[in-house]
Structure 1
Amino acid sequence: MGVKSGLCSLCFPQALAFFGIRRLAAAGGIVLMYHEVLPDTCLLPAWTVVRESDFCRQMEYLRQHFDVISMDAAVARLADGHHAERPFAVVTFDDGYSGNEQTVLPIMESMGLPFVVYVATQALVGNTLYWYDKVINLLGSGKEQEVRVRLQNGGQQRFLLPSGFASENRRWTAMQQLLSFLKQQQPDERQQLVEEIGAEAVHFESVLTMLTAEQLKRLAASNCVTIGSHTHGHELLIQLQPEEIGATVQTANRLLSEIIGDPPAHFAYPNGDYNELVVEQIKKAGYSTAVTTTGGIWSAHNSLYEIPRVGIGRFDSRARFRALVSGYLP
């Protein structure tokens, strides 16, 4: 974390946030990226798991200072070119966790706020977790663990995951190092390494679960929810060939259409990874928008297939949240 980011996490005056939010109105708005929201009793120290109480405060803040609108409404607003008094905010969720229906939906419906859920369908139909969540679950044991990852040259790369006595931030930083290493591996090799890590790990019940088909139907039935696609297997698309990109996208479209009745119009790049080839395939599949994980303000100058998002996670203080949504931090 840089100096500016660190200072904003400690203190970011509301007056400064007001100024930034007013400035945003002339440009357009922001898209927030979440993953999962769970009750405060969930102690998994993962950036991707936001506490329910924090999420409620964040949504109340958005409701007070932004026009919280759907993805379709945001596209129309930017196309219209009309400068509104307040900036807009679009709330999005990646992957398709069960808490999106169990925890998020009641909150958003009670506040009358729309949101988008980008679903990766393999875990939905297979009742399983993606590789990264299997690794993140190692933090749930609370024990110090040395994770040894086999290298192709016959050596080992070692990663030390601190125990529950360490701060959540420190534990997540260690986990990020392991995840970053695994993301650099080719898909087949990465899957094999994750299986080897799991074979040596302490086993316990995961607090992370994915949406079921019935939960997805309940989400889709809500006037507050837009369902988008996040591929079938949450593949890192820049590691795939064009035909593989097309296959995972079409599989997700087919499964989502079968479950909710309509094909998704909006897409989120897994891990935010994309290039010109990936964008070409997403356009070819018929999506009207695609969101990234690159921070920033969404204005009419952005391509609809490179929409920036502001990532919100477990460790964002109230001050840091204000700095993020007012455009002072990317």
Structure 2
Amino acid sequence: MRRFDPAGPVKGFYREEWNLGVVDQRAEDVVRRGIVGPIRWLPALRPWKMLADPWCHELPDGRRVVLAERLDYWTGRGEIWVAVLGAGEDPTRARFAPWMRAACHLSYPVLGRDDAGALFLLVESWEARGLYLWRERPGAPGRLHGPVGPLVARPAIDATIWRAPDHWWLFCTFKDDAPNARLHLFRAKDLEGPWTAHAANPVKDDPTSSRPAGPLFWCDGQLIRPAQDCSETYGGGVTLNAVTRLDPDGFGETPLRTLQPVDAEYPHGLHTLCPAGNVTIVDGKRWATQALDVPRRLLVGARGKLRQRAPAGLPTVLDPLGG
């Protein structure tokens, strides 16, 4: 069935609303069987606000940090908000608070640990015309410093990191090169680079399964890479790919299944899948009706163009996660 995607003059009567939801299955079970039960959604934000791009990371004490993009439709600028969950706490009880703001749009946070066990963070900041890194420093636990970079001096979209035995690998698309279809790869020995572009870039050109949609993870001996299905609408579904080759000379993956929206509350899209222990966190889209809002769209567009011409204003120090 074709996805609903308003276009042309009709689009002015709709806006996207995204929200985070919890699937009561481990990510590995979602790979094997798909989403088999209802999605439990977080309480919706007030109108003109949204949450998307969830990323979950477990702290040493068992608490879980959930990062997400929080967008204000009137500014058109995303921020990174954070919620800290107790061990075993239901993610639908998450209470998000602002954590990272900048003069430019921020989205798709990636939080992990480097080879020394220190925290690192990547955040999509394509308006800053590059991809940047924040790292935990010795003697300052939990506090991230940066920005380091640009790691890639292009407007990277949904950049996702994977640690292989021989290299760090970076998956992304680019705002200026078919961002919903063309997948690019980079590799480096150290997170701070230098990052080397894959010889076959773009390694994939397919709107059904290229644009990153969450962290890579293992399932039944296969490396799974979630990707967006943008073939009919932006963020229409999530395709789970099994990576079959990942080396400096080649890349290959096989789609295993595509997850489509299964819930009447957010029936028009899915575009992130994040393992979170015994559950999986996703985000869902619905088109909300509204009065024709051409003035708002013009205002947001003008603000976006001004941000792209102004200094990025990226923060240099981030507050510790989890207090």
TM-score w.r.t. length of structure 1: 0.25
Higher percent of residues as helix: 1
Larger radius of gyration: 1
**Which of 1 and 2 has higher RCO (CA within 8 Å, sep 6+)?**
1
TM-score w.r.t. length of structure 2: 0.25
Higher percent of residues as strand: 2
